[in-house]
Amino acid sequence: MSYVAKSPWVIHYDGSSCNGCDIEVLACLTPMYDVERFGIINTGNPKHADVFLVTGSVNEQNKAVVKQIYDQMVEPKVVVAVGICANNGGVFRECYNIMGGVDTVIPVDVYVPGCAARPEAIIDGVVKGLGVLEEKRKAMDSGMPAATSAEDNAGKEEA
């Protein structure tokens, strides 16, 4: 059975941002986009999540939280960095406490560009993440170790 055929559960975390991308993530849940019709479900429990959707940059105060959420997720898992702040720190990257994008703390599988990222791009990023999740699942089932994002920079997707 295809792993993507199951309903993917997404956990969302806002590192530190202007909340523009968070508003667009919430727009994905409204009737106009209604991602639940595709089976995508938002959860608050990292142990149930397949996809880690991160908005905002990583700073000194939240780097441990981002790492902890990632570590609590069960393999296989996918990280989607939404917006320019999550990708590289964005307009806040020169601030004294900003470490940069999410990939400074955890491996990222899919980058969704934009400031703020459009709901269509966010949905596309999650769908691309599901493809990566399927590859990781097949690698686990075959007994081969799946390449992590840190090991396979050329394989990173951009939505």
Q: Report the pLDDT averaged over residues 113-132.
A: 93
- How many other β-carbons are positioned within 10 Å of the β-carbon of residue 37? 8
pLDDT tier, 145 (very low <50, low <70, confident <90, very high otherwise): low
Cross-sheet strand order for the sheet of 41-42: 41-42, 9-14, 51-55, 78-82, 110-112, 157-158
Q: How far is CA 80 from CA 1, 95, 110, 141, 142, in A?
A: 24, 23, 5, 23, 25
Domains and CATH numbers, the chain: 3-151 (3.40.50.12280)
What ranges make up the beta strands (E) of the chain? 9-14, 41-42, 51-55, 58-59, 78-82, 98-100, 110-112, 157-158
Q: What is the pLDDT of residues 22-61, one digit of tens each?
A: 999 999 988 899 888 888 889 999 999 999 999 999 999 9
In percent, how much of the chain has pLDDT > 90?
58
In percent, how much of the chain has pLDDT > 70?
87
Cα 108 off chain centre by: 7
Residue 93 has pLDDT above 70, yes or no: yes
- Higher pLDDT: 17 or 108? It is 108
